[in-house]
Amino acid sequence: MIDLFISSIIQGITEFIPVSSSLHLIIYGKFFSSESLSLLLIASMHMGSALALICFLVTDTKSKLIILKNRNFIKSIVISTIPIFIVGFLVYDLIENSGQIDMLIIFTTVFFGLALFFSDRFSD
């Protein structure tokens, strides 16, 4: 139970800053032998973060006005999340059973970090 509490704290702190919260959870799980951290739990934590953000946007007056004025905003968010849900559903068993989730997250963190660095460096 304490593992879940600490994992939730790590997720909450690292989700909204530009670092990989998934990688931090995996590092925590590896260093402290947390057996309770599965791919499903990590995905659930990300869903919780998304729901917290939605709740914040709904209660924030400025955001509420933007959302009410621009219905395409909500439509765009829903449409943009559908592909990742489909891909995640299709490859969940492959990733979970292969044991390569650590390498996948490390690779994507480094790759997208470099992509952000170079796009920032060479932008106008």
Cβ neighbours of residue 48 closer than 8 Å, sequence gap 6 or more: 11
Tokens 């919780």, located at residue: 48
- Residue of 25 and 118 predicted with greater confidence: 118
Decide: residue 48, CB within 10 A, 0-12 exposed, 13-18 middle, 19+ buried. middle
Closest CA to 10 of 1, 26, 21, 23: 21
What average pLDDT does the segment 5-28 reach?
77
- State the Cα–Cα distance between residues 32 and 26, nearest whole angstrom: 10
pLDDT at 5: 82
- State the Cα–Cα distance between residues 39 and 60, nearest whole angstrom: 32
pLDDT at 109: 77
* Residues of the domain holding 43: 2-121
User: pLDDT tens for residues 24-75?
Assistant: 777 777 777 666 677 777 778 888 888 887 777 677 666 666 666 667 777 7
Domain count, the chain: 1
Decide: residue 29, CB within 10 A, 0-12 exposed, 13-18 middle, 19+ buried. buried
pLDDT at 67: 63
Residue 84 has pLDDT above 80, yes or no: no
pLDDT at 107: 80
